[in-house]
Structures are given as C-alpha cells and as structure tokens.
C-alpha cells in the first residue's frame, strides 16, 4: 500500500507538470512533443527512485523490529549466573587468612597452580558448653578471617578469574573439635542458634552481594546436626532467601550418612580425612586398595540423592603415617614428603573425572605474603614440596581436557 501511494503521488505531480507545459507553449507542436517526452522520462526516473527508497525503508524497519524481538532474556540470565559457574571440576585451595591485609600477589601465586577456586574461612569464637558466640568487633581477629578480609579477597580472586567458596567456621576453646559441641538446656540451644544464624546470614548476604560461587552453611558440627536437624533445615531456608547460589555443608568424614538434610542442599560436602593405611610411607598400591570401596560408596550415595560430592576439605601432612589418621595435625613425627605425594596421587587417580565427584578444596594453602608461617605452623601445605608439583601437573591437565 505504501508503494502504491507513492506512485499515485508521483503520477499526480507529473500530470500537473505536463498540463502546465501545454498551457505555456500551445503554439509549437515540436515544443509540445519535446516537453511531453522529456516529462515522461523525468516521471519514470523519479518514480523508480522513490520506489527503491520506499522499499529500502520498509526493509530496514522490518530488520530493526525483528532484531528487537529476537533479543532473548536468557542471555542476561547467563551473564548474571556466570560468576557462580560450578559446572567444571572444583580445583580448590583452602586459603589461609592473612593476619594483615592481602594483595594481588597472593592470588597470582594461587593462579599458578591452575586452581579455579579458593575457600575463604571467616571465624566466630566460642567455648564448649557455652551459648555465647563472639564474632563482632573482635580486635585481635586476623584480617583474612573478618568480613573486610573476605570481601577484599573475593575481589582479588575475581581479578584472577578465581571463584570463591565462603566457609564460615567456629573456633572452640583454642582448637577443640566442634563435632563434640553440646549444650545442656533448650534455652542455651536457642540462644546459641540465634547467634549462629545471625552470623551465617550476614555472610550469606556478603556472598550474594559479592558473587561468591558456593556458600557453606557450617563445618563439622557432628552432634548438633544429628540432635537438632530441624534447626539446620530452617537455616537453609533462611539462607536461600538471601543467597541464590549453590549451598553445601562440610560434614566430617565419618558422619556422611547421619546428615538428614542433604536433600535441601546442592552438594554433599565432606571433609575427606578418611583413614587409609597405617604404613609409615603409604604405597600407591595400598592407597588404591583403600580408596576403591570408598569410591564405590560415594558413587552409590551420590546416585541415591542425585547430588555430586564435594570434598570441602582434603589433605595430608608431609610426615610419616600421614594416611593413618589424616585429621590429626598435632602429632609429633618425622617429615616425609614421599608419603604426602603418594596420598595426593592416589586421591586424584581415584576421584578426578568421576561422575560423582564435584571436586574439592586442598587443605591448606598459605598466602605468599604469609610465606614464613607455612613451614612453622603445620605440614599440611604442599608448598615447595613434590606434592605441589603433582597438584599443578594434574590440575593443568584437567584444565586442558575441559576446554
């Protein structure tokens, strides 16, 4: 209809032009014929040009409208979720909090290992049998274990394309095991649970606001999780109202089948300090034999819940007998780098690239700015040992295979 209207307008204008020409030169037939042919030629050229112009405008309008209609909201959703991409295997380091503010060099050192995750571990403080939990205005708290430190480390990690899991932990009695924590009255439990929820929810908000990729709601509360599971289910609901990413709980290795709220979470979290062998220097054959039934159980358990297993902690000291009771960090024994190396190798052979395995967080990695402490504090760190080279080799290979 548009082109027909344009054509009619052209016809009207050209006919008017012809009539005016005839009136002006009525006495000359030659002039009339000349002007008639000239006007018809101009009419044809003008009409053709205007038709092309109108058609072009119509096509451009159609392309613009179709482009607007085809813009999908899914693209925006993918962009917003990209900071929480956990589709690749988690190659994580448990990042020791710095006493003083950290800088980018600490995360560049992490990037060198081909890690794609770090676990940031803020602390609250309590005492066995006490309902009091301290986490506000703690002047003596290390910077890396505070909210300010966690926020800054997330930003530093993002600059290196490294994701973060926030894994809050409670420090009891200067190092007592949280799995035995108990209270002797309902009133005390309610008071403690209120403080714990407030603390956890504050970090859930921090995780949401700063794009942490995974959030862990607790670590190794064996007795509490079994005695009062309804509290934990309610806590998960409250966390999900704030934090929209995947959730886990860091269960001790011997309590995995005693947790009743795995269905409410996204990963089955295990601190994987399984006893494997009492050999002074564990051989690869012995370690492989010990891992075989564990891996089979993991596969069945993962299938039964339709959830992957995430080793929220795993690690071995570089000492004799390190695979006998891997959770013990205070025993006095001789150094043994080969023992640590073999334990790393057996775990990676057993777990990496298995359908049930989401990945894990190696315990533990000292920041470059805290380099001197890594040797004096404990032997779990693989830094400057053969196990570090193995870790880098395996993670580099996995990174290449996943591309």
Residue by residue, DSSP assigns 182-210 as --SSHHHHHHHHHHHHHHHHHHHHHHHHH
Q: Do 24 and 142 fall into the same domain?
A: no
Around 163, how many Cα atoms within 13 Å sit in the side-chain half-sphere? 23
> What residues make up the domain containing 197?
88-401
Residues 21 and 127 in one domain: no
Residue 198 domain-assigned (yes or no): yes
Tell me what pLDDT residue 172 has.
Answer: 95
Q: Which residues pair with 4 in a beta bridge?
A: none
Q: Alpha carbon 392 to chain centroid distance? A: 20
326 and 276 share one domain: yes
In a domain, 328, yes or no: yes
Q: Could you give the CA distance from residue 322 to residue 275 in angstroms, rounded to a whole number?
A: 9
Do residues 47 and 166 share a domain?
no
Distances (CA, A) of 83 to 88, 214, 229: 13, 10, 31
39 assigned to some structural domain: yes
Q: Within a domain: residue 71?
A: no
Show Cβ contacts of residue 42 under 8 Å, excluding neighbours closer than 6 positions.
14, 17
Quick one: 381 and 246 in the same domain? yes
Total domains present in the chain: 2
Closest CA to 152 of 81, 97, 199: 97
CB 192 within 8 A of CB 135: no
Task: Residue 104: give its domain's CATH number.
Answer: 3.20.20.80
> Are 179 and 221 spatial neighbours (Cβ–Cβ below 8 Å)?
yes
Secondary structure class of 217 (helix, strand, coil): strand
323 within some domain: yes
Residue with tokens 């003083």: 100
Do 56 and 196 lie in one domain? The reply is no
Q: Are residues 202 and 286 in the same domain?
A: yes
Give the model's pLDDT for residue 103: 80
Chain-centre distance of CA 131, in angstroms?
Answer: 33
pTM score of the predicted model: 0.78
Mark whether 339 and 396 lie in a shared domain.
yes
Say whether both 217 and 177 belong to one domain.
Answer: yes
Would you state the pLDDT for residue 219?
A: 98
Assess if residue 365 is contained within a domain: yes
Domain termination site, one of 64, 79, 102: 64
Rounded mean pLDDT for each run of 10 residues along the chain, 403 residues in total: 42 41 44 47 50 49 41 30 63 94 85 96 95 89 93 95 97 92 97 98 98 98 98 98 98 97 98 98 98 98 98 98 94 93 98 96 87 65 95 89 67
Measured between alpha carbons, how far is residue 292 from residues 217, 258, 308, 347, 351 in Å?
Answer: 30, 22, 18, 10, 10
Same domain, residue pair 114 and 58:
no
Does residue 260 lie in a domain region?
yes
Q: Helix, strand, or coil here: 154?
A: helix
Q: What DSSP letter does each residue of 90-125 carry, written as one string?
A: EEEEEEPPPSS---HHHHHHHHTTT--EEEE--EEE
Owner of token pair 């930003």:
155
C-alpha to C-alpha distance for 145 and 151, rounded to whole angstroms: 10
**Do 40 and 165 share a domain, yes or no?**
no
Clarify whether residues 332 and 389 are in a common domain.
yes
Q: Tell me the two tokens of residue 332.
A: 């006095």
130 vs 127, 168, 199, 235, 357, CA distance in Å?
A: 5, 19, 16, 20, 37
**Does residue 121 lie within any of the structural domains?**
yes
CB 94 within 8 A of CB 363: yes
């Amino acid at each position: 209809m548009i082109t027909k209207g344009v054509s009619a307008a052209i016809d009207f204008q050209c006919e008017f032009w012809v009539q005016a020409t005839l009136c002006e030169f009525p006495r000359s037939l030659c002039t009339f014929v000349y002007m008639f042919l000239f006007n018809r030629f101009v009419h044809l050229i003008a009409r053709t040009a205007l038709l092309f112009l109108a058609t072009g405008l119509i096509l451009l309008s159609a392309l613009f409208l179709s482009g607007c209609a085809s813009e999908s909201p899914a693209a925006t959703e993918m962009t917003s979720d990209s900071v929480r991409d956990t589709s690749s295997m988690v190659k994580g380091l448990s990042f020791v909090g710095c006493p003083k503010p950290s800088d980018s060099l600490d995360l560049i050192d992490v990037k060198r290992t081909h890690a794609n995750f770090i676990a940031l571990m803020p602390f609250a403080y309590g005492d066995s049998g006490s309902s009091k939990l301290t986490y506000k205005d703690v002047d003596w708290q290390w910077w890396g274990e505070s909210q300010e430190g966690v926020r800054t480390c997330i930003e530093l990690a993002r600059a290196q394309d490294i994701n973060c899991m926030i894994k809050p932990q409670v420090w009891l009695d200067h190092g007592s095991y949280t799995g035995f924590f108990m209270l002797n009255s309902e009133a005390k439990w309610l008071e403690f649970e209120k403080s714990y929820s407030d603390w956890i929810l504050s970090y859930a908000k921090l995780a949401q606001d700063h794009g942490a990729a995974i959030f862990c709601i607790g670590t190794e509360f064996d007795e509490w999780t079994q005695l009062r599971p309804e509290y934990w289910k309610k806590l998960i609901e409250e966390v999900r109202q704030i934090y929209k990413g995947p959730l886990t709980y860091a269960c001790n290795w011997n309590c995995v089948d005693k947790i009743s709220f795995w269905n409410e979470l996204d990963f089955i979290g295990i601190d994987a300090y399984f006893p494997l062998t009492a050999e002074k220097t564990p051989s690869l054959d012995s370690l492989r034999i010990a891992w075989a039934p564990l891996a089979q159980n993991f596969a069945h358990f993962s299938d039964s819940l339709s959830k992957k297993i995430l080793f929220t902690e795993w690690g071995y000291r570089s000492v004799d007998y390190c695979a006998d009771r891997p959770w013990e960090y205070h025993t006095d024994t001789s150094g043994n780098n080969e023992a640590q190396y073999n334990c790393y190798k057996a775990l990676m052979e057993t777990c990496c690239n298995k359908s049930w395995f989401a990945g894990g967080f190696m315990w533990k990695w000292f920041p470059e700015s805290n380099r001197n402490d890594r040797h004096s504090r404990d032997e779990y760190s693989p830094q400057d040992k053969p196990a570090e080279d193995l870790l880098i080799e395996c993670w580099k290979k996995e990174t290449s295979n996943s591309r």
